[in-house]
Structures are given as C-alpha cells and as structure tokens.
Chains A and B, each alone.
With several copies, the nearest count.
Chain A
C-alpha cells in the first residue's frame, strides 16, 4: 500500500572505534543511558514523529540487535500493514550480497521501498543520541521543494575538521560539501540524516551501482553526484542535543552529560518518550550503607557502596565500602567490597573482585573492563603487580 515516506535506518556499522564495546555486538545495540541501547533513541524518534514504515538494515554481528528490536513491539512498530522490517543481507538466485556501503544497502532493498510506492525516503543511522521530530525536516523538505534535505547541526569550530561540513546560501541551499576540512568556512555539520525524493534517489542509486570505483556511500558518492548535477540540496538546521557516540571517549562523555541536571535530552519527557525493553528486575535497593549522588540507577540494583557521577544499568550489585565514580556499569555487573572505580566502563555480567582499584586519569581514555580483562589483569590476590600499579596511579 502507498505510504508518503519510508524510513531506512542504517544499523549495520561495525563501530570499530568503540573497540571492546562492539566486540561481537553491532554498535546500535550497545547499551546506553542506564536502560537503553543506542538504537532506541532513533526508533523512539520514528514513532514519536509518526514515521511508521521503517526498514532496519543490519549486517554486522546482528544477533543481539535482532533480539532487541524483534518486530518493533516496544516502539509500537509491530504493525499489520507496514511497521518495522529487518533487512539483512541475503542470497538470491545470483548468489550472496553483503552490503558494500550506505548507499549500496539502500540499493539492495529497492524492492522493499517500492512496495510502499513512497514519495519520500528518509535515511537515518542508528548511531546517535538525540531527540528529533522528523516531521519537521519533512515539512521543510516539502516547503523548499528540495530534491534532498540534509539535517545539520552547528558544532564547535575547533571540531569542524572531524565532520562533513555543509556550505549553504542564506536560504540554506547547499552549494558545497567539505569532508573534514582543515579550515572550515562554516561550522554546520551533517548529521547523517537525509530526506530524498524517492524517484530522484532511485535514479542516482542505480547510476552509482554501475560505477566500479564508487564506495557506494551517501556522503562520499551519491550526494556529491547530486550536487554536481545542480540538484536542489538543502540543509535543515537542527537545534538541540545530538551526540555521535563513535569513540569510547565520546560514549563516556555522553553519559556524563546525562547526569547534568539540565540537558536538553530528557529520557523522562512525557511528550517525547524513549522506549525500550524492560526485563522485570525487582526495585532497586539502596541499603543502610549505600549512597548515590549525581547518578542514574536502574531496577534490580543493590547498592551498599558509594555511587557518584555514575550510571548503573539493571541488576548491578555493589558491595560495601566500594566507591564508584564517573563510571558506567552494564547489566549484571557485580562489584565486590572495597573496590574503587573511577572513569571505568564495565561490560555485561563482569564481576570485579574485592579490593580492585581501577582509575583512569582525566587525560586517559576510560578503561573498558571485560571478562578477559578481569581474567588477565585483575587477579584476586592483593599482591598482583598490576594491581599495585593501579593503586599507585590512584
């Protein structure tokens, strides 16, 4: 049946710069904010913006991701006529077809899009933390009569060299892209959110698919080709909180942002709910000896230590006389007694032995603790040389 706009959510990225966090886990499935996974923010934006026809393109280690999104129930995207569809690479009579780039992933699912005969296609990525009403960008796209509209945000000038910069006229029409410029003319960076007129995008995708030297990427290939042909490309200026959690540093920072009393991204905003699963753990118990300040704590936690500037996902237990600062503890973490953690990220179900001290100094990257890390580096004996080093560090 006909739909005005089909949303294609790219969730296949490897997320290499997240290192340990994306080992066997697609980046959109990485836990975030004490109860969510990164993709929950984008999926919640979809339902809150009434974008009901969503294809989610997966490729890399999708098991947890597929289990998490299912058919979209937590986001009310389990629908009879459209709703959420997972689009994984598949084999057909011509053989197997992995997705080669962001544009190629869409090209390989042209049949899916055509089913809904849409006027517009919106392309999103499942990698960012933000609240955005996609109805507004669609609105602008229609009003400006654009062929493509790119959502953009003003970034600090010193960071412009990390982004794709859009140079526009006063009316926001784009006349130039600069990919990670050394000396940017502008601080308006692309957020990787695009709206296209489908008939035009389809033509460009088919053309791009024939090019042998293309990376089949929107930012590198398709959009520059459209610009070169003089198509109407507009920027949509987004104002609000937006964070690319592409590195362990920025992932950690985004969590510290959540602990500020007033950031423009509230997960308890009744007008813009963030949806996710719930695993039905019991209520959280702060015991007689527990204390929590400037922290987010989820169900099933038992806290007998001191928590400060930290995020505890569900079912984390902290024993007495331990101190957790500026840290992020994933579901099922067990922290023994007399432990000190500062600027540490602990992965799911990891147990931190008693008396462990792990501190990353402010100029270091936060420490990511996995089971292997515990086995290799945190021997429970007090006399381990590494442990000594750590302690002295503190």
Chain B
C-alpha cells in the first residue's frame, strides 16, 4: 500500500504578525481561542493517518517546541513514527546549501529511513479542517509527480501575494504565477513522490539554489506531471495582521464556526488543565468565544478570548482578540484590538484601534 509522510516546512514563512511574531514564529501564533496556527495542519495530517511528521523550524521556535512537546496531544508520541522537530544545523564548512534545501540536505537520512513513497509538504498559513486522503488518492489516481492543493477565493487584495495556478481542463497545472487577477489559489500544500523529491533536492543543491518549491518545482513545471486538486470546503489563508484579525472575527458567525469545528472532526491542541469558563452575575457576553479558565464579570462582544482571560466588572471588550491569561480590569474599555498573552489592562484604561487596523499590545505588559 502506498503511504505518505508529512513535512511542515517553516523555513520560508515570514514574520508577518508584527508584535505577535516578535518572539515566536508564525506557526506558533495563537489562533481561534485555543489553538496555535500549526494545530490545523498537524491535526489534518493526523486525521489523514499520516503518523510520521517532520517540522523544519527556522527561528523563534522555543514556544513552538514547548507547544508541541512530545507530540502526545496529536497522537504523535509513538515508537513507530511520531513527530520530529528538525532545527537548523549549525554551520558546517563543507555544507554549501541554503534555505529549505539546507534542511533537506542536513536531514536527508531522516527521509531515507522512512518507508513512505510520498511526502505531503505544508506550511501553516492555510487554515482548514480537512482530510488529506482524497488529495492523496487523486495524486495516486493521476499518477502525478506532484499534486498541488488549490482552492478558489473571491478576488480581493487579501490574496494578492499568494501563488496562483493555471490548469488545463484535465487538471494538469500549466503555470504557477503571482497573477493578481487569478482567483485559483495554491494553498501551500502539495504531495510529491519521495524519489522525485530526492532527485530535485540534489539538483537544486548542486546549483546553489535556496527555495525548493520555486527552484525545484516551478522551474521544472513543464518536465513534471503536476496536477491540481481543488478543495471547496471552508478555508482561508493567514499572512498578515489584517487577514489574522478578519478571519478570526469571521469565526464568530455560526455558519463559519460549524464548518471549521464540525462535531466529530476535531482539531487537536496542547491540553491544558483549565476549569470551564465562569460567567458571573454581571457578565454580558454575546457573539464571542470564551475559552476555558476565563472568568467574566464584564461585557464582551464580537471578540475571541483565549484561555484564562479575566474580564472584571464594568469592563467592555469589543471586536477584540485577547490571548491567554490577560486581565481586563474594572471599567477598562478595549476595542478593535489584539492583546498578546499575560497583559493587564488597568482600571478605567481606554484603548481603541481602528477597524481597518487593529491596535496590537505586545505580551507581558501592563497598560
């Protein structure tokens, strides 16, 4: 039976989230009330029976390592398979490789040991709750060298920087471009034959390349059988503060919520030991996520509150994303805002960003 291993490649992910990515890589950014960005990709892999997963980390990965731990919370702490975090290796004078190719080069023994014939490679900016088995079946059925997961979004400035895909009627990819007027978006997720991966990596290294997808896949587009597999379920991509904020608040619409979190299709995350959220007598919450460990005495509207957030009496929280263990003290007002972990907003404080550009408060501050 053909099988699949996973690779989450963080080498070329950019720190787009300003204060939120000051001390952590994008994969480790908290998202949707109780997750980190990487949880979605990782859970989708686990659910797709991919039980051996490597992570190429680049930098600022301490909180990522702490989050992933042994992988136990994603069922990846097994003797057979499991989760391998592969940090960058210190310089080796004889090693001339760069970018993600350096990772492939330094860790090739890992890929060799693995018995899978295909590798699913993903970043963490594409958020969905899906099973990759259909994608894999399509890859096998079309006997593709490479199969790209694609989707279609309404044209908007939001996806301007994504790669776009042109296909022939049979689904064969004919071009990968940055065309702003093409709604057919590449998710950053693809499956490649391992033997081909080996071959292309070797060629790229020999010619001093540094970006596998651009230099290995796009550059060889016409020599390879590259297929696209279209996903039409609920999804979005996060690659800016704007898309992070907008897509977070969109989850408060029941329709979106039920698509990203259907009962029975779980997204796994690091388990905490928080009590259920506590709503006290004066609480007034609507259209919001309240994560466990929260204690609410004030008003919360159109907001996402992560674990352990306290909102005291008379405080107002509106259009806000408040990360773990923050306290909004009595009669404070926060609106159009993203507040990083462990921030205290003092009594009577008034903070308001613009709807277009939310105000971001860096972590562990008192304001």
Q: Which A residues are within 8 Å of any B CB, using their own CB?
A: 1, 33-35, 47, 74, 76, 79-80, 261, 266-268, 273-276, 278-300, 302, 307, 311-313, 315
Q: How far is the CB of A43 from chain B (nearest CB, A)?
A: 12
A76 to B254, CA, bound (A): 37
Task: Give the residue of A1, A76, A283 whose beta carbon is less than 8 angstroms from that of B79.
Answer: A76
Give the chain A neighbours of B282 by CB distance below 8 A: 293
Given A35-B276, A296-B278, A299-B292, A282 and B287 touching (CB < 8 A)? no
Is the pair A293, B281 in contact by a Cβ cutoff of 8 Å? Answer: yes
Give me 13 A-to-B residue pairs in the complex whose CB atoms sit less than 8 angstroms apart, sorted by A's number: A33-B275, A261-B281, A268-B274, A274-B275, A275-B79, A280-B267, A283-B291, A284-B290, A292-B279, A294-B280, A297-B277, A298-B277, A302-B254
Say yes or no for B206: interface residue by CB 8 A criterion. Answer: no
Is the pair B80, A282 in contact by a Cβ cutoff of 8 Å? Answer: no
| 4 shortest interchain CB distances as A-B pairs | A282-B261, A283-B33, A267-B275, A34-B276
Give the chain A neighbours of B264 by CB distance below 8 A: 1
Known A-B contacts: A268-B274, A286-B288. Give 10 more (CB < 8 A).
Answer: A1-B264, A267-B275, A274-B275, A278-B272, A280-B269, A282-B267, A283-B304, A296-B278, A311-B276, A313-B276
Give the chain B neighbours of A283 by CB distance below 8 A: 32-34, 261, 289-291, 304
A311 to B278, CA, bound (A): 9
Say yes or no for B245: interface residue by CB 8 A criterion. Answer: no
Given A74-B79, A278-B271, A280-B268, A285 and B252 touching (CB < 8 A)? yes
Give the chain B neighbours of A80 by CB distance below 8 A: 75
A266 to B278, CA, bound (A): 11
Say yes or no for B285: interface residue by CB 8 A criterion. Answer: yes
Give the chain A neighbours of B252 by CB distance below 8 A: 285
A279 to B261, CA, bound (A): 13
A47 to B268, CA, bound (A): 23
Interface string of B312-323 (1 = CB under 8 A from A): 000000000000
Q: How far is the CB of A289 from chain B (nearest CB, A)?
A: 8
Q: How far is the CB of B234 from chain A (nearest CB, A)?
A: 13
A117 to B248, CA, bound (A): 36
What total count of A-B pairs have CB within 8 Å? 120
Is the pair B266, A280 in contact by a Cβ cutoff of 8 Å? Answer: yes
Say yes or no for B334: interface residue by CB 8 A criterion. Answer: no
Is the pair A297, B271 in contact by a Cβ cutoff of 8 Å? Answer: no
Say yes or no for B78: interface residue by CB 8 A criterion. Answer: yes
Given A275-B79, A283-B32, A300 and B263 touching (CB < 8 A)? yes
Say yes or no for B108: interface residue by CB 8 A criterion. Answer: no
A5 to B233, CA, bound (A): 29
Is the pair A261, B276 in contact by a Cβ cutoff of 8 Å? Answer: no
Given A80-B75, A291-B285, A284 and B277 touching (CB < 8 A)? yes
Task: Give the residue of B257, B285, B293 whose beta carbon is less than 8 angstroms from that of A268.
Answer: B293
Give the chain B neighbours of A284 by CB distance below 8 A: 277, 289-291
Give the chain A neighbours of B279 by CB distance below 8 A: 292-297, 307
Give the chain A neighbours of B308 by CB distance below 8 A: 268
Output the nearest chain B residue to A34 by Cβ-Cβ distance. B276
Task: Give the residue of A275, A285, A297 whose beta carbon is less than 8 angstroms from that of B257.
Answer: A285
Is the pair B280, A261 in contact by a Cβ cutoff of 8 Å? Answer: yes
Is the pair B78, A297 in contact by a Cβ cutoff of 8 Å? Answer: no
Say yes or no for B286: interface residue by CB 8 A criterion. Answer: yes
Say yes or no for B232: interface residue by CB 8 A criterion. Answer: no
Task: Give the residue of B33, B273, B290 whose beta carbon is less than 8 angstroms from that of A274.
Answer: B273
Give the chain B neighbours of A311 by CB distance below 8 A: 276
Give the chain A neighbours of B277 by CB distance below 8 A: 284, 296-298
Decide if the interface of chain B is mainly helix, strand, loop or mixed. Answer: loop
Is the pair A285, B263 in contact by a Cβ cutoff of 8 Å? Answer: no
Give the chain B neighbours of A313 by CB distance below 8 A: 276
Q: How far is the CB of A191 from chain B (nearest CB, A)?
A: 23
Give the chain B neighbours of A76 by CB distance below 8 A: 78-80
Is the pair A35, B283 in contact by a Cβ cutoff of 8 Å? Answer: no
Say yes or no for B260: interface residue by CB 8 A criterion. Answer: yes
A293 to B284, CA, bound (A): 8
Q: How far is the CB of B306 from chain A (nearest CB, A)?
A: 9
Give the chain A neighbours of B79 by CB distance below 8 A: 74, 76, 275
Is the pair B283, A293 in contact by a Cβ cutoff of 8 Å? Answer: yes
Task: Give the residue of A261, A275, A281, A307 whose beta carbon is less than 8 angstroms from that of B273.
Answer: A275
Give the chain B neighbours of A299 by CB distance below 8 A: 34, 276, 291-292
Is the pair B289, A285 in contact by a Cβ cutoff of 8 Å? Answer: yes
Is the pair B287, A288 in contact by a Cβ cutoff of 8 Å? Answer: yes
Output the nearest chain A residue to B284 by Cβ-Cβ distance. A291
A79 to B276, CA, bound (A): 25
A292 to B276, CA, bound (A): 13
Output the nearest chain A residue to B296 by Cβ-Cβ distance. A292
Give the chain A neighbours of B292 by CB distance below 8 A: 35, 298-299
Q: How far is the CB of A116 from chain B (nearest CB, A)?
A: 14
Output the nearest chain A residue to B34 by Cβ-Cβ distance. A283
Give the chain A neighbours of B263 by CB distance below 8 A: 281, 300, 315
Give the chain B neighbours of A300 by CB distance below 8 A: 261, 263
Output the nearest chain A residue to B275 by Cβ-Cβ distance. A267
A285 to B285, CA, bound (A): 10
Is the pair A285, B275 in contact by a Cβ cutoff of 8 Å? Answer: no
Is the pair A286, B287 in contact by a Cβ cutoff of 8 Å? Answer: yes
A273 to B264, CA, bound (A): 28
Give the chain A neighbours of B254 by CB distance below 8 A: 285, 287, 302
Output the nearest chain A residue to B265 by Cβ-Cβ distance. A282
A266 to B276, CA, bound (A): 11
A307 to B274, CA, bound (A): 21
Is the pair B75, A290 in contact by a Cβ cutoff of 8 Å? Answer: no
Output the nearest chain A residue to B261 by Cβ-Cβ distance. A282
Output the nearest chain B residue to A259 by Cβ-Cβ distance. B278
Q: How far is the CB of B122 from chain A (nearest CB, A)?
A: 20
A273 to B308, CA, bound (A): 14
Output the nearest chain B residue to A315 by Cβ-Cβ distance. B263
Q: Which of B231-274 contact A (CB under 8 A)?
A: 252, 254, 257, 260-261, 263-264, 266-269, 271-274
Is the pair A34, B275 in contact by a Cβ cutoff of 8 Å? Answer: yes
Give the chain A neighbours of B267 by CB distance below 8 A: 280, 282
A255 to B75, CA, bound (A): 33
Is the pair B286, A282 in contact by a Cβ cutoff of 8 Å? Answer: no
Is the pair B276, A276 in contact by a Cβ cutoff of 8 Å? Answer: no
Is the pair B276, A294 in contact by a Cβ cutoff of 8 Å? Answer: no
Output the nearest chain A residue to B278 by Cβ-Cβ distance. A296
Give the chain B neighbours of A33 by CB distance below 8 A: 275-276
A295 to B280, CA, bound (A): 7
Give the chain B neighbours of A293 by CB distance below 8 A: 279-283
Q: How far is the CB of A286 from chain B (nearest CB, A)?
A: 5
Is the pair B275, A35 in contact by a Cβ cutoff of 8 Å? Answer: yes
A285 to B289, CA, bound (A): 5
